[in-house]
Amino acid sequence: MATAKEIKKHMNIALKKVGEIKPWFDKKFNAWIFSHKNYPDVEYAGESPEEVIKNYPLYLHDFIEERLNNNLATHIEKATRGHGGKRPHAGRPNGTKKESKKRVYLPKDVAEWINRPNSIPQVRQLIAKGKH
């Protein structure tokens, strides 16, 4: 069960995403309607814009409460790909240093020589000899 504090926290986030509630009149249904792209399953229709502005947050509250209690059908929640942001312990450990690199295009024979095992220390020795 979701706590009232938790629901309130998520409700504040949702209301910030929704912003100002501006209902529009739908001639087909002869009603004032409001929905938001972030919450497509939460929609309210009423006889006046004031009614919609007053009651839409109540429907959004019920939706958030049901979501936090895992009472929504699987097709209602939008499936997303990816991991949803930074995961704990992902990436390079703190404090490790990676040697800076630069991409350089070289003749093929030179590049093959450099790609051999243990050739980087040899190149550094050559560079050091050339500086003195």
Domain spans of the chain?
4-68
Residue 118 — left, alpha, or beta (φ > 0 → left; ψ -120 to 50 → alpha)?
Answer: left
H/E element holding 15? helix 4-18
Rounded to an integer, what distance in angstroms lies between the CA atom of residue 45 and that of residue 98? Answer: 57
Question: Each residue of 18-52: pLDDT tens digit?
Answer: 999 999 999 999 999 999 988 888 999 999 999 99
Confidence (pLDDT) at 77: 63
Q: 35: closest CA among 49, 48, 51, 18? A: 18
Give me the tens of pLDDT residue by residue for the chain, a chain 132 residues long: 888 999 999 999 999 999 999 999 999 999 999 999 888 889 999 999 999 999 999 999 999 999 888 887 766 766 555 555 667 777 777 788 888 888 999 999 989 988 888 888 888 898 898 876
pLDDT averaged over the chain?
A: 86
